[in-house]
Amino acid sequence: MSEERSLNFIEEIIEEDIKNGKHGGRVHTRFPPEPNGYLHIGHAKSICLNFGLAQKYNGQTNLRFDDTNPEKEETEYVDSIKEDVKWLGFEWQNELYASDYFEQLYGFAVKLINKGKAYVDESTPDEIAGQKGTPTEAGTPSPWRDRPVEENLRLFAEMREGKYQDGEKVLRAKIDLASPNMHLRDPIMYRIRHAEHHRTGDAWCIYPMYDFAHGQSDSIEGITHSVCTLEFIPHRALYDWFIEELEIFPSKQYEFARLNMTYTLMSKRRLLQLVNEGFVNGWDDPRMPTISALRRRGYTAASIRDFCDRIGVAKRENVIDVSLLEFCIREDLNKTAWRRMAVLDPVKLVITNYPEGQEEVFHGENNPEAEDGEGSREIPFSRELWIEREDFMENPSKKYFRLGPGLMVRLKHAYIIKCDGFIKDEQGNVTEVHCSYIPESKSGDDVSGIKVKGTIHWVSVPHAVTAEIRLYDRLFRIEDPGADGLDFREYINPESLQIIPEAYMEPDMVNAEFGKGFQFIRKGYFTLDKESEPGKLVINRTVTLRDNWAKEARKG
């Protein structure tokens, strides 16, 4: 509250509630995923919001799995969700499951039946849909709507006992068939599903619907602020109705706009499709917007939290530009990643006046952004080096600050060199660049007086370590692949994954550890992939560096 930063609308509500002494000033939120898929960056927004609110107002947050649909939910998803929330840096107060409340929920249903507010309906799904009417016409009552309480009680108990088949009967709330809010036209509370539940096994064959589970779970847990997304706005009236009829703790629901991001899909259903139909290699394929994919790709938890902080919380539909996410990870990694040199598309450079067989070792600080540089590593140097093919041009333009006939550059951490010539093969490809070095220009001890505009990275040929490097680009070619009326599968970016089987890196990379971010100088941020092994390194590019030269080059 002491922060100068303005409050989002939910914080305003909470501060008002605290001021009024509501719930004794207590703030208790919850993050309620359904364990039917992996969490994505949109969930991260919700996680940061819910846990962040509790942190800010000295409250607590429950992790509650909304597991009321046995046919879609699996323990694998529960485990991944817990891992992701933890990794993001949040600790939940209680690990809970809506299925923990099945007995209690059953009791709530019985209470409503006794009040004459719920009835067992034997209509078919189609009949029930018909009975709901349309947005402009009132619904019509089911023939079973006015069954006596005793009969409802008996039938509902029989439903639980397993006396009926799936779909044979449902329990419906008796509310208002003429309500302009479709959700109030006698919504279904319970359905029959003879299915194995990931936690309760076959203990139940009736399962509560979302609307008869979520709000009640909030209430049971004493949730003070139940934050969900916009599409649940019409459910709020139902949420309140059940709580009021049941006379239980009055949790309140508040809705914010979910996150959408350019060039990405953000629905579990579609992400599942990408996985099942083989467009990506699993939920944690680094091109996916899932938390596990971002983590594997090299995104840090801090950068994702920062992103969620920057996008704000409001009720307006929004589409965030992915470039903001990229900004966040670059900003974080720039401060923490250790610098290394790697050549992704190599061409050989020979220093003609450097004695054959001679070697020397240079030192490069690990992190120039840190005050002490975080130590340094040794970088061997020799007569033959790998440099980036794009760092040499036979006919360079005036603004090109790299190598070309007669041009000079500095080799990072080493000497200034001058290009004297090059060799081409029959196809006209440059196969070797010849340079001479200036001995007086040694890095850190430069008395040559020469100033050069460009500095390039390099790797000593005899000392190079190889790795498979995977470069990722956006998965889709268009900004809104999820738009109505188009099949997102037709807009997959064929270049979203580019594999470099053998890139050359400076030898210190054999010491790289999992989870550590590296900046390959002038190339981008990289990290070890989970498939990496000591003898066979596999490296993911997290994100490129900002590239003003590319912009310049595009302009022509």
Least separation in angstroms between residue 183's CB and RNA is 6
Cα end-to-end span (Å), the chain: 51
Q: Residue written as tokens 């000392």?
A: 463
Q: Which is nearer to RNA, 232 or 422 (CB)?
A: 232
Q: Tell me which stretch binds RNA (CB under 7 A): 19-27, 129-137, 219-227, 459-467.
A: 129-137
Check residue 435 for interaction with RNA (CB under 7 A).
no
Out of 26, 258, 377, 442, pick the active-site residue: 258
Q: Is 439 in the site for RNA (CB under 7 A)?
A: no
Q: Return the structure tokens found at 129.
A: 């849909």
Catalytic residue list contains 158: no
For RNA, which is the closer residue by CB, 233 or 266?
Answer: 233
- Segment interacting with RNA, rule: CB under 7 A, options 22-30, 188-196, 346-354, 502-510: 188-196
Q: For RNA, give the closer residue by CB, 317 or 425.
A: 317
Segment contacting RNA by CB under 7 A, of 88-96, 407-415, 494-502, 508-516: 407-415
Q: How far is the CB of 300 from RNA (least distance, A)?
A: 16
Residue 20 binds RNA (CB under 7 A): no
Please state, in angstroms and as integers, the Cα–Cα distance from residue 23 to each residue in 12, 26, 49, 238, following that order: 16, 5, 20, 22
268 catalytic per annotation? yes
β-strands 465-472, 384-388 pairing: unpaired
Phi and psi (nearest 5°) for 395?
A: -125, 75
Per-residue binding string, RNA, 52-91, x by CB under 7 A, is --------------x-xx--x-------------------
Catalytic residue (one of 172, 236, 252, 268)? 268
Candidates 444, 449, 485, 556: give the one binding RNA (CB under 7 A).
Answer: 444
CA–CA distance, 150 with 169 (Å, rounded to integer) = 16
Is residue 446 close enough to count as binding RNA by CB under 7 A? yes
- Token code pair at residue 393: 């041009």
Q: In this chain, which of 167, 421, 462, 515 binds RNA, going by CB under 7 A?
A: 167
Tokens of 144: 């079973």
410 contacts RNA (rule: CB under 7 A): yes
Size of the site for RNA (CB under 7 A): 91
Interface region with RNA, contact rule CB under 7 A, candidates 49-57, 130-138, 373-381, 427-435: 130-138
CA-based R_g, the chain, Å: 31
Q: Are 218 and 248 in contact (CB under 8 A)?
A: no
Choice between 337 and 464, CB closer to RNA = 337
Asked if 44 and 181 touch (Cβ cutoff 8 Å), the reply is no
CB of 427 to RNA, least distance (A): 25
192 binds RNA (CB under 7 A): yes
Query: Which of 350, 418, 335, 341 is CA-nearest to residue 384?
Result: 350
Does 469 bind RNA (CB under 7 A)? Our answer is no
Binding test (CB under 7 A) with RNA, winner from 170, 280, 464, 543 = 170
Q: Which two tokens stand for residue 220?
A: 């049971």
| Among 117, 470, 522, 541, contact with RNA (rule: CB under 7 A) | 522
Please give the residues from 219 up to 248 whose contact with RNA meets the rule CB under 7 A: 230-235
User: Which of 15, 34, 326, 468 is the catalytic position?
Assistant: 34
For residues 121 and 234, give the distance between their C-alpha atoms in angstroms, rounded to a whole number.
23
- Site pattern 309..348 for RNA (x: CB under 7 A): -xxxxxxxxxxxx-xx--x--xx--x----x---------
Region near RNA per CB under 7 A, out of 20-28, 109-117, 453-461, 528-536: 453-461
Q: 168 vs 531, which CB is nearer to RNA?
A: 168
Phi and psi, residue 85, nearest 5°: -65, -45
Residue 296: left (phi > 0), alpha (psi -120 to 50), or beta? alpha
Q: Pick the binder of RNA from 91, 103, 490, 547 (CB under 7 A).
A: 547
Q: Work out which of 356, 449, 548, 556 binds RNA, going by CB under 7 A.
A: 548
The angle subtended at Cα 140 by Cα 135 and Cα 144, nearest 5°, is 140
Encoded tokens for 454:
């460009």
Q: Residues in the chain, how many?
A: 556
**Tokens for 248?**
């239980």
Instruction: Concatenate the DSSP letters of all residues of 352-383 into one string.
Output: TTSPTT-EEEEEEES-TTSTTTT-EEEEEEES
Is 34 among the catalytic positions?
yes
Contact in structure between 440 and 474 (CB atoms under 8 Å)? no
Pick 141 or 180: Cβ nearer RNA: 180
How would you write 32-57 as a 3-class SS string?
CCCCCCCCEHHHHHHHHHHHHHHHHC
Q: Which of 76, 107, 129, 162 binds RNA (CB under 7 A)?
A: 129
Q: Which residues are catalytic?
A: 34, 258, 268
